[in-house]
């Protein structure tokens, strides 16, 4: 579902799959606002979110995992003062946070930033309800538009047995049925899942009628793995797609410099070299690499929005500039000719 504005207008709205949830093509992800890459001052977080909202961005996504609740606190502090109908808000379930047994030792030993709370994975009915209610309290907002099942994959659950156990909680433990009840009561408007790797979308859809997926990493300018099976299956089932990490966690925004990251780790040389080649093609057409990276996923008909995670106002402004950059079709054609983009990847325009 489209409005009548230009395709790369960052504020044009698309429906997520077959739901009635309309999101701006450019959204705002909340991962970095959980101190994912270092401590962000509260004032900086506030002015970043205020700038995104004031610019016209009206889709915001967060999660309990992002800073152990800090991202939700920050997003709620800003959005809570805005008219509720003026923005779409999604958060996630799957982790429950609690006071650590030894608070002082926990703070000394933990390896991630954010608030000092321990966690457990829980996709059961009780876990879903606890996570949902806790999120509302952290946000200070008494409704969210969508809930997503978060990080149910081998990367977080270690073994196939761990994945099966989590899927079992969703199914036999009535976690998914609970999400459906929340939607039936009108508390939420859409049910989704966050995906980091290929292979999980088919497993979800064979068991659960999910309405959308937030895909981070498998569909970017650097890698289009999801186009083989995941995205066609979404199209077949009418499931919408939101693209998280459109800059592949950094390198497509910063370029292939020494501190470039890919997949939330230092980029390997093969990725750096491919990024150099992508950047060279973009330069020949007078297009910033970041603009091509941000706009590329929106060429797929299932993709409703891209949600980079700005952590400063200048990043919000740059994302808007990149979304508005005119990209000639010759750029996409050259990327395909050079073997840098899959020949079957749909492109904007």
Residue 267 DSSP code: P
Give the residues across from 2 on adjacent strands. Answer: 14
**Which is more confidently placed, 110 or 150?**
150
Residue 17 above 70 pLDDT? yes
- Strand intervals (E) in the chain: 13-15, 22-24, 28-29, 59-61, 88-93, 95-98, 118-121, 146-149, 190-195, 212-216, 240-244, 261-262, 265-266, 303-307
What pLDDT does residue 1 have? 35
Annotated active-site residue in 35, 53, 59, 61: 61
pLDDT band for 108, please (50, 70, 90 cuts).
confident
Query: Residue 37's pLDDT is what?
Result: 84
pLDDT tens per residue, range 307-336: 999 999 999 999 999 999 999 999 999 999
Domain parsing of the chain, residue ranges: 13-337
Confidence of residue 257 (pLDDT cuts 50, 70, 90): confident
184-198 per-position pLDDT tens digit: 999 999 999 999 999
Kindly give the interhelix angle for 125-139 and 70-79, rounded to the nearest 10 degrees. Answer: 50
Amino acid 5: pLDDT: 37
Out of 92, 123, 134, 274, the active site residue is 92
How far is the C-alpha of 334 from the C-alpha of 254, rounded, in Å?
A: 22
- Which H helix or E strand runs over 262? strand 261-262
Position 3 scores a pLDDT of 40
Percent share of the chain, pLDDT over 70:
98
User: Between 3.90.1150.10, 3.20.20.100, 3.50.50.60, 1.20.1250.20, what CATH number should domain 13-337 receive?
Assistant: 3.20.20.100
Of 35, 53, 59, 66, which residue is the catalytic one? 66
| Adjacent-strand bridge partners of 262 | 265
Q: How far apart, in whole angstroms, are the C-alpha atoms of residue 48 and residue 91? A: 19
**Could you give the CA distance from residue 3 to residue 36 in angstroms, rounded to a whole number?**
35
Residue 14 pLDDT: 98
Residue range 199-219, pLDDT digits in tens: 999 999 999 999 999 999 999
Whether 66 is catalytic: yes
């Amino acid at each position: 579902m489209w409005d009548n504005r230009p395709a790369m207008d960052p504020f044009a709205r698309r429906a997520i799959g077959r739901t009635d949830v309309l999101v701006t093509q450019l959204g705002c992800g909340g991962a970095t606002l959980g101190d994912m890459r270092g401590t962000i001052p509260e004032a900086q977080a506030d002015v970043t979110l205020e700038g995104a909202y004031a610019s016209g961005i009206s889709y915001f996504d967060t999660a309990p995992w992002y800073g152990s609740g800090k991202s939700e606190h920050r997003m709620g502090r800003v959005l809570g003062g805005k008219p509720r109908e003026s923005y779409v808000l999604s958060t996630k379930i799957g982790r429950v946070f609690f006071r650590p047994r030894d608070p002082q030792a926990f703070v000394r030993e933990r390896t991630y930033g954010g608030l000092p709370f321990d966690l457990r994975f829980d996709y059961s009915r009780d876990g879903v309800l606890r996570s949902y209610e806790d999120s509302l309290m952290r946000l200070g907002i008494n409704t969210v538009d969508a809930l997503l099942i978060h990080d149910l994959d081998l990367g977080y659950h270690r073994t196939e047995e761990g994945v099966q156990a989590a899927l079992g909680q969703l199914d036999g433990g009535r976690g998914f049925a609970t999400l459906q009840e929340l939607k039936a009561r009108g508390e939420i408007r859409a049910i989704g899942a966050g995906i980091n790797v290929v292979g999980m979308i088919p497993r979800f859809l064979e068991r659960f009628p999910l309405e959308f997926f937030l895909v981070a990493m498998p569909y970017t300018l650097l890698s289009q793995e999801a186009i083989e099976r995941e995205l066609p299956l979404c199209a077949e089932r009418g499931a919408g797609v939101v693209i998280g990490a459109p800059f592949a966690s950094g390198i497509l925004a910063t370029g292939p410099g020494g501190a470039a990251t890919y997949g939330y780790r230092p980029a390997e040389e093969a990725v750096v070299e491919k990024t150099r080649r992508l950047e060279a093609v973009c330069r020949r057409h007078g297009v910033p690499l970041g603009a091509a990276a941000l706009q590329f996923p929106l060429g797929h008909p299932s993709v409703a929005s891209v949600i980079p995670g700005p952590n400063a106002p200048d990043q919000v402004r740059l994302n808007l500039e990149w979304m508005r950059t005119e990209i000639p079709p010759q750029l996409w054609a050259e990327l395909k000719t050079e073997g840098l983009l899959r020949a079957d990847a749909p492109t904007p325009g």
